[in-house]
Amino acid sequence: MTDPNAYIAAIASIIAAIAAIISPIIVALVNNHHQYKIKTIDLFFNAKLTAYQNLLKVTSSFSDTTSKEESIKLNDVMSYALLLSSPETQVCIGSYCHSILQSTPSDKSGELQAIAILAMQKDLYEFKKYRKLYKQKTHIKL
């Protein structure tokens, strides 16, 4: 009969070999998952930023003599911005674009523009702060 310590040593070496094979796979899966989440967050932030930039570009060139095509363009960029924004920002963007689409410009349009811009800025800042916290939480450097 063979030594029981040899069995224990053999079992320990098999467990160590299996762990050496499985460990890098698990680490790679976890890292890939975190990289995927971070990339998704970055893509969403960039899409939101682009939507807000396009909205501001279209609204700045909008006047009371604009064509139907320009009104459709405003509705398109507004819809995209609304889709990506927070509920508070949606209200501000909606009010601002509604005031622009009315045929008579008013002093209130300028005020609504300022409120919408501040809401978009706050929305981007809060999202960027969340992004930074997530990266710190997962120990990934910016």
Q: What is the CA radius of gyration of the chain?
A: 27
Where along the chain do its domains lie?
4-137
Q: What are the pLDDT digits (tens) for 82-123?
A: 999 999 999 999 999 888 887 655 667 788 889 999 999 999
- In terms of Cβ atoms closer than 10 Å to its own Cβ (0-12, 13-18, 19+), residue 72 is exposed
CB atoms within 10 A of CB 66: 16
CATH fold of 4-137: Four Helix Bundle (Hemerythrin (Met), subunit A) (1.20.120)
pLDDT band at 65 (very low <50, low <70, confident <90, very high): low
* DSSP E strand boundaries for the chain: none
Question: Taking all residues of the chain, what is their mean pLDDT, rounded to a whole number?
Answer: 85
At residue 69, the pLDDT reads: 86
